[in-house]
Chain A
Amino acid sequence: MCYAGRGDDVSSKTVPIQQCNYGDVLAQDIKDNNGSAVVTKNTIINKFIIEKLIDLELTEVCIYMQAEDDNIIENEKIKREYILAKKSMKSILNKMGNNKPVDYSEVVQMSKIIYSYRERPNQVVQYLNSVKNHDEYTYTHSLNTAFYCMLISKWMHMSETETSLSIQAGILHDIGKIDIPENILNKRGILTKAEFEIMKLHVNHGYNRMNNFINDSVLSEEIRMAALLHHERTDGSGYPFNMSSGNINFHSKIVAIADVFDAMTSDRVYKKRTSPFDVFEMFRTIGLSMFDENIINVFIKNISGLYTNTNVLVEDGRIAQVVHIPMDNISKPVIRIDSEMIDLSKENNIRLLRVI
């Protein structure tokens, strides 16, 4: 009857006896009036145990939470913390927009929250897939970029200090957009060269805006540079300086990938999001020379697997589930539609539109 497979780190909850189900696992020793244990911790609850607990006149009991409970609670937590972080982001940008000083500790606080999800990449990607609302893109994009920066840093085995830098660089990379006219920022779908020239200035504005912070002793030059250089590309095709790979700092290269990945997989006012599989395809083909090869390989290798089991909308309107993502052909997963398995590497006529 004893259940030995659980460690102490599994969380527990206290529930009324009536709400115990057969199969729940006790998270406490149950003692009688003399203090001797009558039912021990880790016992699986059945009809007999429940009767015993009632005999002891217990009203509630501490049990381990099942995995689904864990997920629900954790998903609530990430949602709550994400919404709080979004509010901080809004407040930072509003203060900056009004030329008020911003306390850098607000950024550090957000960075700590994001860092705390370092061991939960699956949950992060799942949650980010669910926040694709374009209304608050300005705020969500910076946050999402910071989350992807955290994941990349984790997968690159970077230290806590370096990971935090990367997260903060992600949070602040687009801060200069507050200095770009709204009509250009949210232009629906088509931009002329003149408009693009104005848009490009957000990187210079971002660099300058870093001067609005106070208590900024931990604001490193790496973060300022990431605001300035996150549109540089390793083949020299980026802006503002057409820098080549050797001159672009490491954190800018990380932000560049996180930024593009989130921008492409998020809804915008004028367009629906692209499927992550199309983005992988872009990184592996036309974008191949534009991003740091090492970082891109680590990113794609690790993130692609997290899309297993997600639901995707197919061009013909059907909904498919991603069943398997082959490492050697990442943009062509095996999917299931109803009960039919389809290998997209062999089936050319099915296009995945986006994750839903």
Chain B
Amino acid sequence: MKTLIAEDDEASRIVLSRYLSRYSSCDEVVDGLEAVEAFKAACRKNEPYNLICLDLMMPRMDGITALKKIRDIESEYYNNPEQRSKIVIITALSETPFMQSSFDKGCDAYATKPVDFERFMDVLKEIGCDLN
């Protein structure tokens, strides 16, 4: 499995990356723009990410804008829904008020910090991530 983590807060990024690296290789970026660039590069090499974790509030480009751009680029490269990356928006900002636009723009799950990893893993399986 291949994962992209976009998170500007270093501590959160390291924790998430350490945890997920048991199941996946992890690339780390620090804002939405870098996330979009990393995604593009992966598509060009035809090695798309299986899972993308986007923080909501990041400098230069926020998580929801990045989410929309990633889904747009993805649709240019892949038609098969099974090849779609699973995308989780992660935020310190509780459930309101960005859930609707996140789901509208194509995220698969919406998580609130601090991330409860046990629940997080359950949901990743539920949305179809291969965690073996």
Whether the Cβ atoms of A190 and B96 lie closer than 8 Å is: no
Give the CA-CA distance A190 to B107 in the complex, in Å: 12
Asked whether A231 is an interface residue with its Cβ less than 8 Å from the other chain, the reply is yes
Give the CA-CA distance A256 to B95 in the complex, in Å: 14
Give the CA-CA distance A126 to B93 in the complex, in Å: 22
Asked whether B82 is an interface residue with its Cβ less than 8 Å from the other chain, the reply is no
Complex interface: chain B residues within 8 A of A238 (CB): 97, 100
Give the interface segment out of B33-41, B43-51, B72-80, B115-123. B115-123
The interface size of chain B toward A, counting residues with CB under 8 Å, comes to 32
Whether the Cβ atoms of A189 and B119 lie closer than 8 Å is: yes
Asked whether B101 is an interface residue with its Cβ less than 8 Å from the other chain, the reply is yes
Asked whether B16 is an interface residue with its Cβ less than 8 Å from the other chain, the reply is no
Whether the Cβ atoms of B100 and A189 lie closer than 8 Å is: no
CB < 8 Å A-B pair total? 83
Give the interface segment out of A15-23, A54-62, A285-293, A321-329. A285-293
Asked whether B6 is an interface residue with its Cβ less than 8 Å from the other chain, the reply is no
Complex interface: chain B residues within 8 A of A256 (CB): 97
CB distance from A240 to the nearest CB of B (A): 9
Whether the Cβ atoms of B111 and A263 lie closer than 8 Å is: no
Q: 1/0 contact trace for B69-100 toward A, CB 8 Å?
A: 00000000000000000001000111111111
Whether the Cβ atoms of A268 and B94 lie closer than 8 Å is: yes
Give the CA-CA distance A238 to B111 in the complex, in Å: 19
Asked whether A214 is an interface residue with its Cβ less than 8 Å from the other chain, the reply is no
Give the CA-CA distance A196 to B123 in the complex, in Å: 13
Asked whether A159 is an interface residue with its Cβ less than 8 Å from the other chain, the reply is no
With contact pairs A192-B108, A264-B94, A285-B57 given, residues A237 and B100 touching in the complex (Cβ less than 8 Å): yes
Given B94, B100, B109, which contacts A239 in the complex, CB threshold below 8 Å?
B100
With contact pairs A237-B100, A286-B62 given, residues A193 and B108 touching in the complex (Cβ less than 8 Å): yes
Whether the Cβ atoms of B119 and A274 lie closer than 8 Å is: no
CB distance from A308 to the nearest CB of B (A): 24
Whether the Cβ atoms of A196 and B116 lie closer than 8 Å is: no
Whether the Cβ atoms of A274 and B93 lie closer than 8 Å is: yes
The closest CB in chain B to the CB of A194 belongs to B126
Give the CA-CA distance A263 to B95 in the complex, in Å: 8
The residue in B57, B94, B98 that gathers the most chain A C-beta atoms within 10 A of its C-beta is B94
CB distance from B5 to the nearest CB of A (A): 16
Asked whether B18 is an interface residue with its Cβ less than 8 Å from the other chain, the reply is no
Give the CA-CA distance A29 to B96 in the complex, in Å: 58
Asked whether A73 is an interface residue with its Cβ less than 8 Å from the other chain, the reply is no
Given A189, A193, A264, A278, which contacts B96 in the complex, CB threshold below 8 Å?
A264
Hey, which bits of chain A sit against chain B, CB under 8 A?
A: 188-193, 196, 200, 231, 233, 237-239, 256, 259-260, 263-264, 268, 270-271, 274, 278, 282, 285-287, 290
6 contacts between A and B (CB under 8 A): A188-B116, A189-B115, A270-B112, A274-B92, A285-B62, A286-B64
